Amino acid sequence: MATGQLFSKTTQALFYNYKQLPIQRMLDFDFLCGRETPSVAGIINPGSEGFQKLFFGQEEIAIPVHSTIEAASAAHPTADVFINFASFRSAAASSMAALKQPTIRVVAIIAEGVPESDTKQLIGYARANNKVVIGPATVGGIQAGAFKIGDTAGTIDNIIQCKLYRPGSVGFVSKSGGMSNELYNTIGRVTDGIYEGIAIGGDVFPGSTLSDHVLRFNNIPQVKMVVVLGELGGRDEYSLVEALKQGKINKPVVAWVSGTCARLFKSEVQFGHAGAKSGGEMESAQAKNQALREAGAVVPTSYEAFESAIRETFEKLMEEGKITPVKEVTPPQIPEDLNTAIKSGKVRAPTHIISTISDDRGEEPTYAGVPMSSIVEQGLGVGDVISLLWFKRSLPRYCTRFIEICIMLCADHGPCVSGAHNTIVTARAGKDLVSSLVSGLLTIGPRFGGAIDDAARYFKDAYDKGLTPYEFVESMKKKGIRVPGIGHRIKRGDNRDKRVELLQDFARTNFPSVKYMEYAVEVETYTLSKANNLVLNVDGAIGSLFLDLLAGSGMFTKQEIDEVVGIGYLNGLFVLARSIGLIGHTFDQKRLKQPLYRHPWEDVLYTK
């Protein structure tokens, strides 16, 4: 066990099992104390590497993350404190691994419930190698104005209240972490404050004892008096009694052992900590208090009198000139986190993204305000989800069914079209699903599958202006623009596209109005008089029918219809549908284990 001071203003730690809040509290304490370097040198997260962003005052810093204790110790040789936030299942193994690192001097084990046999092994190894274990079941420790472990002393407000941002003259040790916070406050009120405080933990076998730390305090010149808070159960306090009797401690010790109320109960009572259970008269709070009093410690008659005893001992040392009053300093203001400031109403900050279609902040995600469970329970389909996420409203069932039919009919058109061809070539090159899918999607445009919006736009403009099919087609010809949605490489007037017929039949049966579709059919009649392949294709059918859906449903204003067409909603249908087929082609090629594609020479015209 170390014989002097454990921490200083340059102490750095390795933090095991990343926890954002305790680390940030350590860094805020560093800033409060005026440290030049952060007290957390590195983080150990098994299986992870990289960096974690945190704040050191107003500056955002990146703390390295290591996957093993050995790697972290090698990377940060000056970090000699290991703060272990592992669960009780792995705390012992990781703590032993840390103790075996030559650079690690102090190990703090936060977890409760570490098996006692494992703790005994840690204690034996630490004592044999002159190392210190604080815990298990501890909140940690603190050296005022220099370094603190994890959540020790609680919030920044409490730390300032307790004057822990600068060193005082009192060494404090306790079994309880919660009571440590209480005593830091008490000591801060009636003395010049803490110099160092340790919570050894409430387990039956603590890694270091009350007397271990009191003896250390006795060797630290800045510590002028010692405050000890014990509890019933175990015999740890008796080692302190022996040290006092043997004259090993020459500084005033004010002590109290909690749990005197245990005698009021007829049967044995467990008081929170695993070790807070009296195993006989010697382990009672009364017996321990009496033994400490007889050994020379200042022991009050009750916990209520503890504060007065601490004050009187401190004032006596002041009168004797053994304590020089600490010069008070004003700690810097810790910058407040933006989220905290927003919640408290202190600041307002602009958002970076606006979303109106979904919300995942509640108990379950919602689509346009409709809970996901409701969508499933009502038996809604993909078309209904599209209506919510794309159009932000629940469209009638005939509308959502039409959307689903469009997706089914446009899902694939064989392996020879440009999108499928690109996807097949990419998949055969050994690329992943997303790369293969995207290579096919990138071909979608005005020449392949991307004419739905243009077809809708031109058909709507011509119909709304009252142009006859002749006037519309001829005006497009004069502009040098092909009529979108008209023309097919294979289909003819006497060999219509079955997909177009299915869409038209569905619309005539279910839509309130099909005026735009009928106009497109009239345009087709005129174009067929010019050439037999100038038929209404699936792009033109979907484009014109979607205009009828938007206008006939009565759920969209004219401005909204123009916006839907202008933004590219209708091409979105083709992109969504064709993604199904492109994914299928990717899986097909990989399932068939097809080799790298090379285009045949005979299919290329080589010319100068």
CA distance 22 to 15: 10
Residue with tokens 């370094």: 147
* SS3 of 56-98: ECCEEEEEEEECCHHHHHHHCCCCCEEEECCCCCCHHHHHHHH
Torsion of CA 360, 363, 365, 368, to 10 degrees: -90
Rg (the chain; Cα; Å): 39
The residues pairing with 230 across neighbouring beta strands, listed in sequence order, are 257
- Residue 413: active-site member: no
Residue 227, H or E segment: strand 225-231
With contact defined as beta carbons under 8 Å apart, do 89 and 115 qualify?
no
- What angle, rounded to 10 degrees, do the helices at 177-190 and 306-319 form? 40
Alpha helix ranges (H) inside 359-484: 372-377, 382-391, 397-410, 418-428, 433-441, 452-465, 469-479
Identity of the residue numbered 86: A
Q: Nearest 5°: phi and psi at 49?
A: -140, 160
Residue of 76, 213, 273, 585 with catalytic role? 273
CA distance 350 to 528: 57
CA distance 564 to 581: 25
With contact defined as beta carbons under 8 Å apart, do 219 and 196 qualify?
no
**Which residue, among 200, 202, 168, has the nearest Cα to 185 in the 3D structure?**
168
Contacts of 333 (CB under 8 A, 6+ apart): none
**Which residue, among 219, 287, 288, has the nearest Cα to 250 in the 3D structure?**
219
Look up residue 298 and give its DSSP letter.
B
- The three-state secondary structure class of 399 is helix
Identity of the residue numbered 255: A
CA distance 573 to 86: 50
Q: Nearest 5°: phi and psi at 165?
A: -80, -5
CA distance 350 to 367: 24
CA distance 205 to 109: 13
Q: What residues act catalytically?
A: 273
